[in-house]
Structure 1
Amino acid sequence: MHLKGKGKLLLIAAALLLLPAGLAACGKSSSSSAGAGNKAYTPKKLTVEFVPSSNAGTIEAKAKPLEGLLKKELGIPVTVSVSTDYNTIVEAMGSKKVDVGFLPPDAYVLAHKQYGDKVLLQAQRYGVSEPDDKTTKKLVNYYRSQILVRKDSGIKSIKDLKGKKIAVQDTTSTAGWIYPAVEMLKHGVNINKSGIQTVTVKGHDQGVLSVYNKNTDAAFVFQGARKLVMNDEKDVMSKVVPIYTTAKIPNDTITVRGDMSSKWQKKIATAFKNIAKTKKGHAIISSVYSHEGYVDSKDSNFDIIRQYDKQAKQLDK
């Protein structure tokens, strides 16, 4: 009995000695499975989404051929679709329903903050001269926002916008809300408190038309937006004029969901740059967004947007 008892004690001691090793093994197994859960995303098919700057139906039809060009570059099926607004794309990317978003700067900053989405590229456009909106021959990585009014409205400055009706884009639109609203505030006019009524419209062409048709007194649009409606309204340039042009805004982004593998980030960036250099591809991106090509980008390029976002919070105080 004594030897049996001693044997039991030895077995217990041995078990206790083995316990830490067993727990370490369990811990290692647990962390390994967590690592597997965090595996970088490799798409089997790619979903691309954007918000049109003008007529949604027309733009979606123009963008559809991009599917085939991307499929050829990437070797996987691609779906290109139009969203109603930038918030919808940001949320869709956050919930892993969309892989690639054409996002303006403010929407990108939001997507990066909330979901860790990553900017790959910035668009290049030809510059725009003032006040005639003529296209220059210089490629730039920025654009500007304008506040438009009817020439016969009697509105000459930002201070004249008090008590007026303004057509705007959604609140994540850099040119259609953030920049002009913040710069108005710097001139002593709070768009939320100065008796101003805002009307949200879908597309910068609709902003121009709302002023042209006297449905609103003013509109926030990107510089050059009047040219979107010139085919239908030949006299738009003389009847609708800018009273204010903002500081430079970083150009639109091509952004991917935050868990995209670095390998696929590079593949997607290369694909868009290659497509932009082809005759067919350039025609698509030019007609859809006035993009002329793409250059590599980085998050710090959008610190200026974060500054404007902080200032925009003053609008509600």
Structure 2
Amino acid sequence: MTWKKAAIFLFVLSLLFLAACGDSDDSSGDDNSSDGDTYVPDSLTVQFVPSQNAETLEARAKPLEDLLENELDIDVTVSVSTNYNTVVESLASEQIDVGFLPPNAYVQAHDEYEAADVLLQSQRYGVNEDGSNTDELVDSYYAMFITRSDSDIESIADLEGTTIAFQDITSSAGYVWPAAALLDEGIDPLSDVNPLVLQGHDAAVTAVLNGEADAAAIFQDARNVVVNDFPDVFEDTKVVAYTEPIPNDTISVQTNMDEEWKEKIQQAFINVGESEEGREIVRDIYTHEGYVESEDSNFDIVREYSERIQEQ
């Protein structure tokens, strides 16, 4: 080999060596960037479950966009899912960043899809028998069965063979807790009653009023949602029974969101709930009175109830 050929050979060899080093550095950089697999949102999508008429709920929730944008300094889009499962699936497919999830929907998103981390739980005022609020903020609520006032149904045992208006099977107050109460009485909620699955607790109350259902499983006291359309709803219906307490709803986020941003979003919702304007909005949406920090262990009772229902 001549010195000229040797020089060319060494030059090519050095280029290959540098290229290999460059590939190695790039590969290392890729590994570091994917270690945490987190993302920083440049905009925020927030979705609610349709606990009442979806169009009405979305109109009530839209003003949250401006308040959250002021808190976070990024664009915020608020929407309402078509049903309870959709918001869970949207989190799992990374189509939304934040979900207002009822307890059972949160557990499904967290445990089954590994797609949600709880940030906050809502606070509500307790509710009296007549539907009025107590003066105490609570971190749980009840589901209840209602029927028409002139109905012969006086207890859960009397519900066997009747038509009951339920919500989606992931609705804590609209199905899971009421179904467990039926099971406690030896009544299968799928075969020993005629389940009528509706979207929105307002629709369930209306179904009882118009005779479409003999009873309805609703959150306490969802009759307030329809009182403007049915002023006599409290006289025309009666409470048959209450369930055991249910943990309040969550505000949950994508598990792979940047931790700093999780904290920012958490504080933003706390601030919104503490402001006069913000509290009025969240009260109008879900009767929330603000938000407090939460943790996953608060929902172990939800897991117990879910297992009971799945075993039926």
TM more than 0.5? yes
Question: What are the superposed Cα offsets for residues 231-278 of structure 1, whole Å, 9 maximum, x if unpaired?
Answer: 111211111111110111000000001101110010000000101111
Question: Aligned runs of 1:242-253 on 2, under 5 Å?
Answer: 242-253=239-250
Work out which of the residue numbers 298, 301, 304 in structure 1 matches 2:298: 301
- Partner residue, 2:8: none
Which runs of at least 4 in structure 1 moved beyond 3 Å after TM superposition? 28-32
Q: Distance in 1 between matches of 2:28 and 2:196?
A: 52
Question: Relative to 1, partners in 2 of residues 1:164 and 1:31: Cα closer, same or farther, differing over 3 Å?
Answer: farther
2:247 maps to 1:225: no
> By how many angstroms is 1:185 displaced?
0.1
Indicate conservation of the 8 Å contact 2:91/2:115, yes or no.
Answer: no
Work out which of the residue numbers 100, 106, 109 in structure 2 matches 1:108: 106
Question: Aligned runs of 1:71-220 on 2, under 5 Å?
Answer: 71-113=69-111, 114-129=113-128, 131-194=129-192, 196-220=193-217
- Partner residue, 2:57: 59
Question: What are the superposed Cα offsets for residues 163-203 of structure 1, whole Å, 9 maximum, x if unpaired?
Answer: 11111100110000000101110111111221x11111111
Q: Distance in 1 between matches of 2:244 and 2:309?
A: 15
Q: Distance in 2 between matches of 1:209 and 1:127?
A: 23
> By how many angstroms is 1:32 displaced?
5.4
- Partner residue, 2:310: 313
Indicate conservation of the 8 Å contact 2:50/2:84, yes or no.
Answer: no
Q: Distance in 2 between matches of 1:180 and 1:279?
A: 34
Partner of 2:311, secondary structure, is helix
- Normalized against structure 1, the TM-score is what? 0.88
Question: Relative to 1, partners in 2 of residues 1:133 and 1:31: Cα closer, same or farther, differing over 3 Å?
Answer: farther
Partner of 1:79, secondary structure, is strand
Question: What are the superposed Cα offsets for residues 112-152 of structure 1, whole Å, 9 maximum, x if unpaired?
Answer: 011241000000000112x2122001000110000111121
- Normalized against structure 2, the TM-score is what? 0.89
Partner of 1:188, secondary structure, is coil
Q: Work out the number of aligned pairs and report it.
A: 290
2:58 maps to 1:41: no
Q: Distance in 2 between matches of 1:151 and 1:89?
A: 35
Q: State the AA in 2 paired with 1:44.
A: D
Q: State the AA in 1 paired with 2:270.
A: K
Partner of 1:152, secondary structure, is coil
Q: Distance in 1 between matches of 2:49 and 2:226?
A: 18
- Partner residue, 2:6: none
- Partner residue, 1:276: 273
> By how many angstroms is 1:31 displaced?
6.8
> By how many angstroms is 1:161 displaced?
1.3
> By how many angstroms is 1:30 displaced?
5.6
Q: Distance in 2 between matches of 1:74 and 1:32?
A: 30
Work out which of the residue numbers 260, 263, 266 in structure 1 matches 2:263: 266
Q: State the AA in 2 paired with 1:66.
A: L
Q: State the AA in 1 paired with 2:97.
A: D
> By how many angstroms is 1:39 displaced?
3.0
What is the aligned-residue identity percentage? 47
Q: Distance in 2 between matches of 1:35 and 1:304?
A: 38
Indicate conservation of the 8 Å contact 1:46/1:99, yes or no.
Answer: yes
Gapped runs of 5+ residues in structure 1? 1-21
Question: What are the superposed Cα offsets for residues 187-225 of structure 1, whole Å, 9 maximum, x if unpaired?
Answer: 11111221x111111110111110011100111100110
Gapped runs of 5+ residues in structure 2? 1-19
Question: What are the superposed Cα offsets for residues 77-124 of structure 1, whole Å, 9 maximum, x if unpaired?
Answer: 000011111210111111111000000000000010112410000000
> By how many angstroms is 1:35 displaced?
4.1
Indicate conservation of the 8 Å contact 1:52/1:288, yes or no.
Answer: no
Partner of 2:123, secondary structure, is strand
Q: Distance in 1 between matches of 2:103 and 2:288?
A: 15
> By how many angstroms is 1:306 displaced?
0.3
